[in-house]
Amino acid sequence: MTNTIGTTEMVSAPLTDVSTGGTASVEQTELEKVRAALHAANAESKSRRTRLAALEAAEVTRQQAEMTSDQKLTSVQQELANIKAELLTERAKGATLMLAAKMGFAHPEDAFTLLDLEDIDASDSKQIEKALEALVRSGRLPLMKSTTTNVPSLPGLQSKTPGAGIREMPSPGRRL
């Protein structure tokens, strides 16, 4: 019985292995053929990805060459505006995190996420502080709880003298 896959013909009868004198199963030979086909497909895919990247880079170069000086200037101005916006956002994030930490928020990183930056000037720390206080009043951003409350008091930890409040343990050789 013969199966045909693509242009490769496979026989489903056992083949004899001359080197070992045994028989190699059809599954083993099919597995080897599939591995070889997979390797070839991966190699082809890699070459196509490489070619695609080169074509895309050439297209960008061609488009830039066709641009007029006004279009190039507009493109550079747009990139500059994008970079400026990213810089302002990062500056606002840094100021917000710093103020939130100083104000004692439980999660300062959440403060930036919850702020509406469209309504405030990111360069004005007073506006950021007022916005953070508004978040606290609304209950959306909790302050850190005091660590002195709900702390169990242990007798040995209240003294500043090392070993104070600790009872001396009898040595193993001594009987009570």
Q: What DSSP line would sit under 89-125, residue for residue?
A: HHHHHHHHHHHHHHHTBS-HHHHHHH--TTSS-TT-H
Q: What is the pLDDT of residues 11-50, one digit of tens each?
A: 444 455 445 444 568 899 999 999 999 999 999 999 999 9
Same domain assignment for residues 48 and 76: no
52 shares its domain with 108? no
Residue 160 lies in a domain: no
Q: 79 and 57 in one domain?
A: no
pLDDT score for 47? 96
- Is the domain of 85 the same as that of 125? yes
Whether 54 and 87 share a structural domain: no
Report if residue 168 sits inside a domain.
no
Please check whether residue 169 lies inside any domain of the structure: no
> Is 129 a domain residue?
yes
Mean pLDDT on 51-80: 90
**pLDDT recorded at residue 35:** 96
Number of domains in the chain: 2
Average pLDDT, the chain: 76
User: pLDDT of 130-165, one tens digit each?
Assistant: 888 888 888 887 777 644 444 445 454 455 555 555
- Residue of 119, 125, 114 lying closest to 92 (CA atoms): 125
Q: Is 127 inside any structural domain? A: yes
- 146 assigned to some structural domain: no
Query: What is the number of H-type helices and E-type strands within the chain?
Result: 4, 4
What pLDDT shows up at residue 128? 85
- 122 lies in some domain: yes
Which range marks the domain in which residue 23 is found?
Answer: 2-66
What pLDDT shows up at residue 23? 54
